Amino acid sequence: PNHDTDWIRMQLGLMLNQYNWSQDKELNQWIVNNRLDGFGQVVKTADRDDEKKQAILKRMRDSAVPAVNKLMKLSEQIEDLPPEAAARYA
């Protein structure tokens, strides 16, 4: 990232990729079992009986679609900036 708004596009891309990958069962299983997917391991090994952890994970799942929608809106707003302002984010 080179600019303060780069994380918006990066996070949006990451979230959309994760969704698309999750639709392919074989690929999703490989990602879940991959040692490089640290967060996936946290989710996979979270104690099902730990109500606090499960509540946090549910909140994250419930927030995913609204977060993607907001990131899309923010990304569009960046794209719609006047040229002189957009130059700061190019």
Domain count, the chain: 1
Residue 50 scores a pLDDT above 70: yes
pLDDT band at residue 74, thresholds of 50, 70 and 90? very high
Residue 49 scores a pLDDT above 70: yes
Alpha carbon distance 30, 4 (integer Å): 33
On whether residue 61 sits in a domain, the answer given is yes
On whether residue 16 sits in a domain, the answer given is yes
3-44 pLDDT, tens per residue? Answer: 888 899 999 999 999 999 999 999 988 988 887 777 888 888
On whether residue 68 sits in a domain, the answer given is yes
- Give just the sign of the alpha carbon dihedral 1, 9, 57, 46: negative
Cβ–Cβ < 8 Å for 35, 44: no
| Average pLDDT taken over every residue of the chain | 90
pTM score of the predicted model? 0.78
On whether residue 21 sits in a domain, the answer given is yes
On whether residue 1 sits in a domain, the answer given is no
On whether residue 64 sits in a domain, the answer given is yes
Q: What is the pLDDT of residue 39?
A: 83
Range of the domain at 57: 6-89
On whether residue 72 sits in a domain, the answer given is yes
DSSP string, 13-42: HHHHHHHHHHTSHHHHHHHHH-TT-HHHHH
